[in-house]
Amino acid sequence: MNYLSVKYLHLGCVVLSISLFALRGALQLRSVAWRQWRVLRVAPHIVDTVLLGAAVWLAWRSAQYPFVAGWLTAKVLALLAYIVLGHFALGPKTPAAQRGAFFLAALLSVAYIVGVALTRRPALGLL
């Protein structure tokens, strides 16, 4: 596989992953039982696995690694925050009054990840 093909695969998975999260979050906030649809339970895991695999391959091929390259470290740490926040936003045990805040925080963390990816600067060019 060439670098550009994997990069576009990664970018496509990013769009799908964020779209699926936004859809599930919106349905969750509207109290729609989205877990009844198998595609909304399974597809995000498949997309995110491909996304992570492509990210690891790209890091390896470009020789830029988290905890070496600051911008990748920022993305990995923000990804961990996104996973935790997304878990609480979509979790069936999370009180309805708190879901919106977790959902918004998860979307902000993913926006930060995209911003860092575009600028390759942890401070997003603000400093």
Instruction: Supply the pLDDT for residue 36.
Output: 96
CB count, 10 Å around CB of 102?
20
Q: Across residues 40-58, what is the average pLDDT? A: 97
Angle (CA) 93 97 102, round 5°: 75
Half-sphere exposure of 28 (CA within 13 A, CB side): 28
Cα(46)–Cα(22) distance, integer angstroms = 16
Position with higher pLDDT, 35 vs 125: 35
Average pLDDT, the chain: 95
Domain chopping of the chain, boundaries: 3-119
Q: Across residues 106-126, what is the average pLDDT? A: 91
pLDDT at 79 over 90: yes
CA distances from 37 to 14, 34, 40, 106 (A): 22, 6, 6, 22
Q: Across residues 53-70, what is the average pLDDT? A: 94
Instruction: Supply the pLDDT for residue 41.
Output: 96
3-class SS of residue 64: coil
Calculate what percentage of the chain has a pLDDT beyond 90. Answer: 93
Q: Across residues 43-51, what is the average pLDDT? A: 97
pLDDT at 127 over 70: no
